[in-house]
């Protein structure tokens, strides 16, 4: 499993996140099928429907990936995350997650699963960006023989591991 996650992490450095993320979701389908076969776990009808929806959703996303410019190096990534839109997005996510985790979640989390799905999804979007940034930083360091400042690499590593 660690090899698969490592390969997924490396993919963020070389491919757009809009392509890597749906393909990473297919690991859920593969895990379900393999656990059914090798661990003799029974995959009920809802599990099979979920696997089919996962495959269809990944296919739809991959077919409709926007033709946007790809971030090729760490400097471009830094410029993109300093954009007002991205900073606003992160600020709203932080406020939303604090509200859900401390106020809405304890009151409604036991009755409503969507509370935890929202928390995981919003934090997951930040994890994807952290992985992309760290992957680009490592790629630039290796291929361009460029030594990044230790602070940027440490902050990227800390964000990636703490959010994950």
Residues 133-164 have pLDDT tens digits of: 888 877 777 777 665 555 566 666 666 666 65
Report residue 74 CA to chain centroid gap: 18
Note whether 92 and 144 are within 8 A (CB).
no
Closest to 29 in 3D by CA, of 62, 53, 45, 51: 51
pTM of the model: 0.67
**What does the pLDDT look like over 75-117, one tens digit per residue?**
888 888 888 999 999 999 999 999 998 988 888 888 888 888 8
Domain boundaries, the chain: 1-66, 73-164
H-helix or E-strand containing 76? helix 74-81
Most confident range, picked from 10-19, 27-36, 89-98, 99-108:
89-98
Q: Using CA atoms, how far apart are residues 57 and 26, in angstroms rounded to an integer?
A: 10
Give yes or no for a contact between 152 and 137, defined as CB atoms under 8 angstroms apart.
Answer: yes
Q: What is d(CA 160, CA 136) in angstroms, rounded to the nearest whole number?
A: 13
- CA 1 to mean position of chain CA atoms: 16
Quick one: pLDDT at residue 61? 79
Q: How far apart are CA 54 and CA 27, in angstroms?
A: 10
């Amino acid at each position: 499993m660690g090899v698969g996650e490592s390969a997924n992490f490396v993919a963020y450095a070389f491919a757009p996140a809009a392509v890597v993320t749906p393909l990473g979701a297919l690991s859920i389908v593969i895990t379900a099928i393999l656990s059914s076969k090798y661990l003799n776990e029974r995959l009920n009808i809802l599990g099979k429907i979920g696997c089919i929806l996962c495959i269809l959703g990944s296919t739809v996303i991959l077919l409709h990936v926007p033709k946007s410019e790809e971030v090729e190096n760490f400097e471009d990534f830094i410029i993109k995350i300093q954009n007002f839109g991205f900073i606003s997005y992160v600020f709203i996510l932080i406020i939303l997650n604090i509200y859900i985790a401390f106020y809405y979640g304890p009151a409604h989390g036991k009755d409503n699963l969507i509370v935890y799905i929202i928390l995981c999804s919003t934090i997951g979007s930040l994890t994807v960006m952290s992985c992309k940034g760290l992957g680009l930083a490592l790629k630039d360091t290796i291929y361009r023989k460029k030594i990044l400042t230790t602070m940027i690499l440490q902050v990227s590593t800390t964000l990636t591991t703490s959010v994950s």
